[in-house]
Each structure stands twice: as C-alpha cells, then as structure tokens.
Amino acid sequence: MSKSVVEVRVRALVPTGSGCAVFIGNEEKVFVIYVDPSVGGAIGMFINGQEKERPLTHDLIAILLEAVGARVERVVINDLKNGTYFGRLIITAENEIQQKKIIELDARPSDCIAMAAQQRAPIYVCEDVWSEVEDMTEVLEKIEESRESGSGTGEEAE
C-alpha cells in the first residue's frame, strides 16, 4: 500500500429498503457503505459466525484461495468517486516451495468487506477517502440507542 490508510472495522449492519447499510469505522469516525441485500446478509453471517447449509459465493472463493495456497491478507477501500466506493482485495499466495506472491485485485467494497469478515482479515480505508466521507457516528449511536430500547431493527456487528 503506497497510500496512508486508517484501520476500520464493521461497526453495524442495518437493513434498508433496498439492501443493507454497512457502518464502517473506528473510535474516531464512522461512515456508511450501502450494499445489496445478499452481500449484506453474507457479511452478517460471517461476522456472527453463522453456519450455512451450503457454501455461499464468498465461501467458494475462500475455498478456492485455500486450495491454491492463498488467503485474503487485507482489504482497502481506496477511492470514492461520485458517491461510488472502490476497493482492493490484497491476497497472499505461497507455493509448494514457500515462494510468496502478493496479488492485488480490484473489487467491490461490499465483496472486500465480506471476504475480510469471512477470513478475519483487516479492513483499511485510504486517508483521502477517510477525510472525504461524512461522519455518521451520531446516526449509528441513535440506531444503537433505539435497539437498546427495543424499538430498533437490524443486526449487530460487534
């Protein structure tokens, strides 16, 4: 990674009318990435360690990676253009004679987050994106308060 980054984690998942709001951040700041319902559901299952009857697409990718001696090392949300986030999936692979290779792939941030949750890999945001996103900490706090009072909906990610 040549750019400066900030480490973040999934703070909460909140269902929306058209998908899922993924609250990502740290103690300093939280922002939201909206994802489709299937990826939001996958992220929730991975975070909560929920067993699945059959492998999901992200499980299949992880099985494939493992079969070739690779794993997700980290993910980076590296750009934001016109309201669209961009991500990078950083994979490390090691062959049978212990030669290491780093592979960096362009990927949707939602898939990056799902793969990070599935493989327990760290999530980073480039500082230029971090400084551009709107801080949604207050919104998340209100959602958490409504959940505690029993009137909220959604999944807890912590």
Q: Copy the structure tokens of residue 141.
A: 């706090």
**Residue 34, burial from CB neighbour count under 10 angstroms (0-12, 13-18, 19+):** middle
pLDDT of residue 25: 96
**pTM, whole model, 2 decimals?**
0.86
Place domain 5-156 in its CATH homologous superfamily.
Bifunctional nuclease domain (3.10.690.10)
Q: Please write the tens of the pLDDT for every residue from 23-70.
A: 999 999 999 999 999 999 999 999 998 888 888 899 899 999 998 889
Q: Please write the tens of the pLDDT for every residue from 101-155.
A: 999 999 999 999 999 999 999 999 999 999 999 999 999 999 888 888 775 545 5
Q: Where do the DSSP E strands lie in 82-122?
A: 84-94, 100-107
pLDDT of residue 51: 85
pLDDT band of residue 98 (cuts 50, 70, 90) is confident
Question: Which residues, other chains included, contact 52 with Cβ-Cβ below 8 Å and sequence gap of 6+?
Answer: 45, 59
What residues does each domain of the chain span?
A: 5-156
Read out DSSP for 65-88? HHHTTEEEEEEEEEEEETTEEEEE
pLDDT of residue 150: 72
∠ at Cα 94 (89, 95), nearest 5°? Answer: 135
- pLDDT for 156 beyond 70: no
Q: How far is CA 60 from the centre of its chain?
A: 17
